[in-house]
Amino acid sequence: MNWIRVASASDLQDDEVLGLTVGSARIALYRIEGEFYATDNRCTHAEALMSEGYLEDGCIECPLHQARFDIRTGAALCAPATEPLRTHPVKREGEEIYIGAAAA
């Protein structure tokens, strides 16, 4: 798999989310307890950006209709969303954060 550098670890503190564009894909990058995760940055229920949502306990809440998703698995946890968010592989090498090229 090809990896694309998208951020430095210092760009995000714990419990923060960052909206990115990787190739043509809009990605939300999350940091929880020092670990990094990535999902699509569009709610599966509506067109809201997940990077503008509320992040807590490993879940992101859509800012538009309060649908919640598990950022580790992408699973939709409550209505109105029923479809999961697509997740993307993330790796950290030193201070650099990479997303798998399949996200692009």
- Going by the DSSP 8-state scheme, the letter that residue 102 receives in this structure is G
Banded pLDDT at 101 (limits 50, 70, 90): confident
Kindly report, residue by residue over 32-88, the tens digit of the pLDDT. 999 999 999 999 999 899 999 999 999 999 999 999 999 999 999 999 999 999 999
pLDDT of residue 55: 96
Mean pLDDT value of segment 16-36: 96
pLDDT of residue 23: 86
pLDDT of residue 52: 97
Q: Please name the CATH architecture into which domain 3-103 falls.
A: 3-layer Sandwich (2.102)
Domain-wise residue ranges, the chain: 3-103
pLDDT value at 1 more than 90: no
* Cβ contact 104:25 at 8 Å: yes
Give the span between the Cα atoms of 2 and 72, in whole angstroms: 21
Q: How far, in whole angstroms, is CA 99 from its chain's centroid?
A: 11
pLDDT of residue 102: 63
Mean pLDDT value of segment 6-27: 96
